């Protein structure tokens, strides 16, 4: 058997790994730079590259690889089911500075799964086995090949079969979002299934789903025996979460975050995601989608969130930030989201063509 590629090492040798979950329309170069400013995870993943007969790697996603100056490795995620096209895309992406190739087996958007890609593939374990064999081969022994999956489509009947394919085709790293496709983003996360995966496959497993804080990360690591955690929405809410994980996992108390620092985060995110061809109104609307998450930790009554939804200009947005974040600048920003403060939209629009901030909430 040929030698397996080596995964990049984490920040701290021997500590569980941390990763920023891939998020379409979120984890672009600008966002990753902002996250890195507050404490980068060990691994980044791109938004998914769509792969089909006419596809070419999307330029803006390539940019997040080519101009990655976060100091941390980035895996390129693919979504698709056409083997020759996937192989072609792997070859092309391997000419860029990627840490590895990741296959998306989890996207729950109907427009995606109806094409039998993403989460849709979880209904067809035989097809998954073929894809894993082909992608392992295309990645060879010098490019890590990783998979991100949910625990099933309708139910978990195929979970073991898929895990056994992951083992057989020598996947290098497996991220498991502990929900089925049908469960979307709101149900409980089945950490017992993540524990089962971690025990069954030989590669490291990253536990994913509702890891809301460093304390929760530590608890999930203990409960699942996973090699690390992958964090998505709660890194939008709290970009300090990865450095907090590193402190907590080293038995150090992380420094508290206060509201004045959150004001700085919002301004940094605004500046980083701004572009000349994006009108102010549209940019403010995009900011409101990130702030939907941030607002969950500002005040228990959700007053900041309520106010921010009414902003339509940058001046209004920052006035609201000043009122709610600088009147008591030393007030703590909660590690956990306040119960009952819901990021909207809290529904998942059935016709969405991917996973996006438009349709997914906390």
Ligand X SMILES: Cc1cc2nc3c(=O)[nH]c(=O)nc-3n(C[C@H](O)[C@H](O)[C@H](O)COP(=O)(O)O)c2cc1C
37, 242 contact by CB (below 8 A): no
What 3-state class would DSSP assign to 138?
Answer: helix
Is 3 marked as a binding-site residue? no
41 contacts ligand X (rule: CB under 6 A):
no
d(CA 216, CA 229): 10
* CB closer to ligand X, 210 vs 296: 210
Q: Please tell me the number of Cα atoms within 13 Å of 266 on its side-chain side.
A: 29
By CB under 6 A, the residues from 337 to 356 that bind ligand X are: 355-356
Query: Sign of the C-alpha dihedral, residues 237, 120, 46, 195?
Result: positive
Distance CA 247, CA 233 (A): 20
DSSP 104-137: EE----HHHHTTT-GGGGGG-HHHHHHHHHHHHH
Piece of 101-109, 246-254, 264-272, 331-339 that binds ligand X (CB under 6 A): 101-109
Contact string (CB under 6 A) for ligand X, positions 161-200, x = contact: ----------------x-----------------------
Tokens 């301004």 found at: 267
Please check if 232 is assigned to a binding site: yes
Q: Does 234 bind ligand X (CB under 6 A)?
A: yes
Q: Which of 23, 90, 99, 135 binds ligand X (CB under 6 A)?
A: 23
Q: Which residues contact 182 (CB under 8 A, 6 or more apart)?
A: 108, 153, 154
Residues 257-316 that bind ligand X (CB under 6 A): none
Q: Which two tokens stand for residue 250?
A: 């080293």
CB of residue 231 to ligand X, shortest distance in Å = 5
The region that residue 131 occupies, defined by phi over 0 for left and psi between -120 and 50 for alpha, beta otherwise, is: alpha
Q: Which of 10, 80, 100, 209 binds ligand X (CB under 6 A)?
A: 209
Could you give the C-alpha distances from 333 to 255, 260, 291, in angstroms and in order? 11, 9, 13
> Quick one: 169 or 234, whose CB is closer to ligand X?
234
Which CB sits closer to ligand X, 104 or 273?
Answer: 104
Taking CB under 6 A as the criterion, the residue among 7, 19, 21, 227 binding ligand X is 21
Q: What x/- string results for residues 125 through 164 when contact with ligand X is judged by CB under 6 A?
A: -----------------------x----------------
The annotation status of 77 as a binding-site residue, yes or no, is yes
Q: Does the N-terminal peptide bond of residue 345 adopt cis geometry, omega within 30 degrees of 0?
A: yes
Residue for token digits 């030989």? 202
Which residue's CB atom is positioned nearest to ligand X? Answer: 232
Residues 213-232 that bind ligand X (CB under 6 A): 231-232
Residue 177 assigned to a binding site: yes
Catalytic residue status for 203: no
Please give the residue ranges that form the binding site for ligand X (CB under 6 A): 21-24, 26, 47-48, 77, 104, 106-107, 148, 177, 208-211, 231-234, 355-357, 360
- Looking at the annotation, which residues are catalytic? 107
């Amino acid at each position: 058997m040929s030698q397996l590629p080596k995964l990049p090492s984490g920040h701290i040798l021997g500590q569980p790994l941390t990763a920023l979950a891939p998020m379409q329309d979120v984890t672009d170069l600008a966002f990753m730079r902002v996250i890195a400013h507050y404490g980068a995870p060990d691994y980044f993943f791109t938004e998914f590259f769509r792969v089909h007969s006419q596809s070419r790697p999307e330029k803006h996603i390539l940019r997040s690889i080519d101009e990655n100056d976060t100091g941390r490795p980035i895996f390129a995620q693919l979504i698709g089911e056409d083997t020759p096209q996937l192989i072609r895309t792997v070859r092309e992406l391997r000419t860029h500075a990627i840490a590895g190739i990741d296959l998306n087996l989890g996207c729950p958007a109907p427009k995606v799964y109806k094409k039998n890609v993403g989460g849709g593939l979880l209904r067809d374990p035989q097809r998954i086995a073929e894809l894993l064999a082909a992608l392992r081969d295309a990645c060879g022994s010098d490019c890590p090949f990783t998979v991100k999956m949910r625990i099933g489509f309708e139910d978990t009947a195929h979970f073991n079969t898929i895990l056994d394919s992951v083992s057989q085709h020598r996947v290098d790293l497996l991220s498991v979002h502990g929900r089925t496709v049908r469960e979307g983003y709101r149900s409980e996360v089945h950490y017992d299934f993540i524990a089962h995966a971690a025990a069954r496959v030989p590669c490291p497993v990253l536990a994913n789903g509702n890891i809301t804080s460093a304390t929760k990360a530590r608890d999930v690591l203990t409960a699942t025996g996973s090699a690390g955690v992958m964090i998505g929405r709660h890194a939008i809410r709290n970009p300090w979460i990865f450095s907090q994980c590193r402190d907590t996992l080293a038995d150090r108390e992380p420094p508290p975050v206060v509201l004045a620092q959150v004001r700085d985060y919002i301004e940094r995110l605004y500046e980083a995601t701004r572009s000349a061809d994006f009108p102010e109104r549209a940019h403010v609307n995009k900011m409101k989608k990130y702030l939907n998450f941030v607002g969950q930790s500002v005040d228990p009554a959700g007053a900041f969130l309520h106010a921010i939804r009414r902003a339509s200009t940058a001046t209004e947005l920052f006035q609201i930030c000043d009122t709610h974040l600088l009147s008591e600048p030393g007030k703590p920003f909660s590690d956990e989201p306040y119960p009952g403060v819901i990021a909207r939209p809290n529904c998942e629009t059935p016709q969405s063509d991917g996973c996006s901030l438009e349709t997914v909430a906390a």
